[in-house]
Amino acid sequence: MSSPSEAFRVLVYAGKGAGTRSVLSAVETLRGSLQDSILVAQIGAEDILSSRWQQGCLLLVMPGGADLPYCQALNGKGNELIRDFVETGGAYLGLCAGAYYGCSRIEFELGTPLEVRGSRELKFFGGVARGGVFSGFKYMSEAGAVAAPIACCELDSVGPLRDASGSEHAALPPTAPYSQSDNVERAAADHNSASADGRTTNDACEQFYDYSNGGPKFGQSSALWYPP
């Protein structure tokens, strides 16, 4: 039996900017979904900068929270190591802020006091992530959170997550592009009053913050939306 240090791993970023509940829910979900032989653990910014995490890692998860602290912690060497990990066969899963972070550019809540805009280094998606999809978002509250409809890809289009030896470990959506649906705006209007849970984050001083709903919406020219 492999020791924990030799086991295949899925790592969830829990460093600066990562939301507490987002991290814990990602870890819990992954542990309940993957084979027992796969170690699911948290990883901080200093660990990513060390580069030792890449060996045996199948998937790096960037959870919800806040994207700007991700930039502060990982711009430069950290992002270079993440890109190298993906380009050599590793997988990246971005959730909420982590999804924004993996794009070429962010345009979040433009024209409001919450505005965030700028280029990003990972560029796994070569376009602009625009958000939030739903109106009314406020930090440190559940305002603006909605129960949004989710469209899933067909089961036969889901591919296995493999390690370097070719062994299958889990099922993940393929990377092939899909056409974006124009139903997003209509769905936002139809579901704007529904409620959903929020997301939290800790800053460097371990203070508790609630980042709530703010998932990205890709532009109409994007080819990464699964069809409804």
Cβ contact 14:23 at 8 Å:
yes
Q: In what order do the strands lie in the sheet with 9-13?
A: 39-43, 9-13, 57-62, 91-94
* pLDDT score at 139: 73
**Domain boundaries, position 51:** 9-218
Residue 218 belongs to what H/E stretch? Answer: strand 217-218
Residue 50 belongs to what H/E stretch? Answer: helix 45-50
Q: How far apart are CA 164 and CA 13, in angstroms?
A: 22
Percent with pLDDT over 70 in the chain? 62
Task: For residue 39, tell me if it sits in a domain.
Answer: yes
Task: For residue 223, tell me if it sits in a domain.
Answer: no
**pLDDT tens digits for 90-102?**
999 999 899 999 9
Residue 78 belongs to what H/E stretch? Answer: helix 77-87
Mean pLDDT of the residues in the chain: 72
Judge whether residue 84 has pLDDT over 80: yes
Amino acid found at 87: E
Choose among 215, 153, 214, 157: nearest CA to 181.
153
Task: For residue 196, tell me if it sits in a domain.
Answer: yes
Tell me the pLDDT band of 137, cut-offs 50, 70 and 90. Answer: confident
Q: For the whole prediction, is pTM greater than 0.85?
A: no
Domain tally, the chain: 1
Task: For residue 199, tell me if it sits in a domain.
Answer: yes
**pLDDT tens digits for 21-74?**
899 999 999 999 999 999 999 999 999 999 789 999 999 999 999 999 999 999
CATH number at residue 211: 3.40.50
Task: For residue 29, tell me if it sits in a domain.
Answer: yes
Comparing 88 with 170, which gets the higher pLDDT?
88
Task: For residue 224, tell me if it sits in a domain.
Answer: no
Relative to beta strand 217-218, strand 57-62 is unpaired
